[in-house]
Structure formats: structure tokens, C-alpha cells
Amino acid sequence: MVNAPLTVTELTARIKQVLEQGFANIKVSGEISRLTTPSSGHIYFTIKDSHAAISAVVWRSAAARLNIRPKDGQAYIFSGHLSLYEPRGSYQLIVTHIMPAGVGRLAEEFEKRKLAFATRGWFDESRKQSIPKLPQHIGIVTSQTAAAFEDVKKVLQTRPAWLRLTLSQAIVQGESAPQSITHSIHCLHQLEDKPDVILLVRGGGSIEDLWCFNDEKVVQAIVDADIPIITGIGHEIDTTLADLAADVRAATPSNAAELVCPAKDTLRPQLTRLKHRLNQAMQSYKDGKHWALERANHELKHGVRQHLQLQHLNIRELKKRLQQFEPNHRLRQDMQHFYQLKQRLLSSTQTITPKRQRTLEFNQYHLRLFYQRLIQRKKEVCSNHYEHLHGMNPKHVLRRGYAMTTNEHGTIVSSAKDLKQGDKLQLHFHDGTAETEVKRTTENP
């Protein structure tokens, strides 16, 4: 049977089917030549090497998504598929993505490092820290002159006024960037008032521009950080190994600033609800504590009264004991004894000789001096006992500016070590009581 001849259209259709199905997803490396960019938005050029050339086109929709703009004479890696243009019977590469020729090597290195770091557990969700809901201090690691820093500040201006920003300046591109970024993260950890969270940000760029964020030093610094880190590196389509290790990955620097703290307009209704709930809780707390405080106050007063009554009994007992040492009482006894001796002396002097009279007068004189000194010493001893006992009177001590302190259970507090912040105390003065609360305690060295 003789095969029927194919029309040109039929042959071209078969070739188109085989060509487009067989080369639906390919990568081609080569140099661009004869680049044209008409007003339609499409990009036409030829891809060539030393022995062959192929026509290529980037349609307008794909051209808008390209990260780079191709240039004549530059070598690239082109991703796309083959298509046959039937009216001319010519084929061309429909390009959807373009990378510089060196990017392929970087992409391979990226996947190699990604696998190694993942094996170490650096990307595990279990090791990532949670971001504080309302941070007060935010650390920023980026270049002071970078547009990313301005974008972050612009967004944070819409956040609560309590926010404090600390820039730890870093080089974010080039060979010295990994060491600089690592040092900046370390510096924020050394601050006395450390940030609650860190933003590691940089604007968009090529894979070469962002390569420092795939460095092992940078990724390990993020993993070892005690402070949660949010990354906002490049554009949404850019992903670095630093993003995978970070506690939170944001699409852009601005998005990182949006994620770190809610806006004022978002917080305002939340704070209103929280305030209402807090007021309700406080009211319930006060209602419950009112009766407890009343009972505690009653028990405290009862305890103080009992304590004072006991002190009064002790004072009366001391007064009784003191009476026998009272100067006038002892003085009257001694004087009576003295007069008795004097009378006996007078009676005896009527029958003694003048010489013995003089001796007797001399002894009488010294005896009088002895008694006077003895009485004076007794007065001083009694007076000291009286002052000591009088000083032990609690009310007397209170009148001198002192106060007796009791806790919520009515127990007398005698040491600062028995107190802690928030304790309720009652101060007892000679003319009344006062309630107070402990703000802080300080022990004597």
C-alpha cells in the first residue's frame, strides 16, 4: 500500500506536536544577540554559541515578571519550551525565565547548603521562637543607607509610640557582608537592654546580591540567637537560607515591620475590650476582697487589743515590783533607822567623857556622810530602774514617734526579711492606726 503524501500543513502539525511535547520544559545556555524590544512589550533575540543559534522570544506577560533585563552580548541560562511557528515552518524558544550564566552554579550550591543545614536541624519548626505580641524594643540589622531601613521606619511610624528602635548597622552585600551581619546580631545580644525582637532586612536584588544571606555564618547566627528574628529579604519570590532559619519569614522589609507589631488602629479596639475585661475583673476582685479585708481588720484590732491588755498587765506587775525600790519609800525607812540611831547616840552621850564625846561626834559625822552617800546611790539605782521600766511601756514608746507594725494576720512584724512586695500592713501609733502596702524591701548590709 502506497503511503498517501502529507500536505505541508499536516507535516508541520506533526512536527509541531512532536517538538512541543518533546521539549516542553528545557533550559538552554547561550549568549544573546540581535536583541529587540518593540513597543508591544515582547522581547525578541537570538541565543547562540560558537556553533549554532536559535530564535527566542519573551512574551510581554513573562517579560513583566523577569528579575533581570537581558543585554546583548551577555551569557544567560534560559528556561522555557520550544514552539513551532507554522506559517514559516520555523521554531523558536519561548522563554519564561532568565538567569545569569553563573546563577546555575549558585543554585546548585544553594541546594547543597540547604540540605546540609536541614540535616543539622537548623530549619526545624520545633527550635523556632515565638514573636512577642506587643514588643517594646525592636532591633534592626541592615545598612543605614538602605531603602529597606527607610521602609521599615515608615511602617513602624504607624505603630504604638512606645516602640524603641535600635539599628545595628551591617553591610548587606558582598564578601564582607556575612561577617558584618553576624557581628551586628551579636552586638544586639550584648546590650544591657536587649531588644524583644530583631528585624534582619534587605531590599531586592539578584541572587548574587542576596548570596550573603545563604552564608553558613549568618544562618548559624540566626539559629543561635536568643532573641526572636524576623527576616525580610528581597522580594516575595526571593528565598534565602536565612529566611528558612528565621523564626518568622516576611515577604519584604515592609512586611517584616508589619508583622513585628500590630498597627495602632488594630490595637485600639483590642485595648478597649481588654480594658473593659480588666475593669470587670478588678471589680470582682475588690468585691471579693472587701469582706476578707473587713474580717482581717476585725481580727487585727482584736489581736492588738489583746496584746495591749497583756502589756498593761505586765506594766502593773512591774509597778508593784518597782514600789519597793521607790526612792522616797526607801528614804523614809533609812531616815527612821537613822533617827533611832541618833536617839541612841544622844542617850549614850550623857554618860561619856569629853574625849569619847569628840570621838563619838567624829564617828557621827562620818556616819551621816555615809548614809547620805548611801541614800544618794539608792536613789540613782531606783531612778534607773524606774526609767528602764517606764521606757518599756508601749504607749510611751509610741509617743516618741515609733510605730508598731502588724501584718494581715495581726502578727507583729520585727524584721524586713519577713516582708515581700505587695504585703498589706497596719501601723499602730499612740493615737490610732494606719494601713500601708510594701513597695520594696532593703536589708541592711
Angle at 299 between CA 298 and CA 303, to 5 degrees: 120
106 vs 80: CA distance, rounded Å: 20
Domain 8-101 fold is: OB fold (Dihydrolipoamide Acetyltransferase, E2P) (2.40.50)
What architecture does CATH give domain 106-262?
3-Layer(aba) Sandwich (3.40)
CA dihedral 142, 148, 151, 153 (to 10 degrees): 10
Does the pTM surpass 0.85? The reply is no
The pLDDT assigned to 194 comes to: 95
The pLDDT assigned to 403 comes to: 81
Predicted confidence pLDDT, tens digits, the chain (445 residues): 457 888 998 898 999 899 888 898 999 989 999 999 999 999 999 999 888 999 999 999 999 988 888 988 888 889 999 999 888 888 999 999 998 876 667 778 889 999 999 999 999 999 999 999 889 999 999 999 989 999 999 999 988 888 999 999 999 999 999 999 999 999 999 999 999 999 999 998 878 889 999 999 999 999 999 999 999 999 888 899 999 999 999 999 999 999 998 887 776 665 666 666 777 777 777 766 667 777 777 777 776 677 777 777 777 777 777 666 666 666 777 777 777 777 777 776 566 567 777 787 788 888 888 878 888 888 888 888 777 776 666 666 777 777 888 888 888 887 878 888 888 888 888 788 888 888 888 877 6
The pLDDT assigned to 392 comes to: 67
The pLDDT assigned to 1 comes to: 46
The pLDDT assigned to 195 comes to: 96
The pLDDT assigned to 348 comes to: 65
Task: Map out the domains of the chain as residue ranges.
Answer: 8-101, 106-262
45 vs 29: CA distance, rounded Å: 14
